Amino acid sequence: MPTPISTPMLLACADEAALAQGLAAALGWPWALIDQHGFPDGETRLRLPPQLPARVVLLRGLQDPNAKFTPLLLAAAGVRELGAQHLTLVSPYLAYMRQDLAFTPGEVVSQRHIGRLLASAFDAVVTVDPHLHRVATMDEVVPGRRGIALTAAELLGGHVAQQVPGALLLAPDEEAGQWVKRAAQAHGLDHAVCHKTRHGDRDVDVVLPLPAGVVAGRAVVLLDDVASTGRTLAAAARGVLAAGATSVDVAVTHALFVGDALAQVQAAGVRTVWSSDCVPHASNAVSVVPLLAAALRRL
């Protein structure tokens, strides 16, 4: 039986099929994979379902963004041509958000321009724990469209509370403080924030919160929005163990772990890494399907 035209449809790529299947099941929607073919010259051919309903949701995380952004915009244009009147992007990891200001003359403010491109292609953008600094809401990122920023902090905090009862939740830097506070307050955990000085992409110093003895004799869980090179988490882990922590684990929303990042974190003494399934990774332990499904129902 053909899908009623009034029923929304979820579209996804093969590498995010597990998340798409779970999300579609939670919503009671049909879903389909976008067929992709890569040509030797680097171009991509896409094939979409030939009949689409009026409302379509496109699921695409933007880790490895330079490879994914052009196919994403092509898919959005194709969905419109096939009849979709309302198109939502669900991007559990949304890249290019940290550069919201030109720090030196001539720097391109990537967040501003990526946001405008997304606003030109989608009616709404839903993401999880975007790396925003001086921008308060996702509505500002996608001007004239609906922007929704969800957080996995409480979900991660709940998992930590189950796995390590009484843990001290520690933000490895000030930027992560907002997520650590939310996770700790939701589950009755203690929390504190470290201070980070960045000297380069892979060179950071992390100073433990005062008083220094706050971590002594405690099971510590480092909680952050994203793990990329792993250097911040590794530096924080070495610091808390040197200060007398009995153990250190990591909970992170976006498990990018580029190159040898995971090995670096483990070598620093981290016992276990737990992540959300915003980014497919072997450390995935918490699903954001309930968050995404609730947001899409509201839309």
Q: Looking at the annotation, which residues are catalytic?
A: 196
Cα 211 from Cα 213, distance rounded (Å): 5
Q: Would the CA dihedral through 158, 159, 160, 161 be positive or negative?
A: positive
Query: Are 129 and 255 contacting, i.e. CB atoms less than 8 angstroms apart?
Result: no
H/E stretch holding 239 reads helix 231-242
Separation CA 122–CA 112 (nearest Å): 15
**Residue 10, Cβ neighbours under 10 Å: how many?**
20
CB 176 within 8 A of CB 225: yes
Rounded Cα gap, residues 221 and 159, in angstroms: 11
Q: How does DSSP assign 144-190, residue by residue?
A: TSEEEEE--HHHHHHHHHHHSTTPEEEESSGGGHHHHHHHHHHHT-E
H or E element that contains 10: strand 9-12
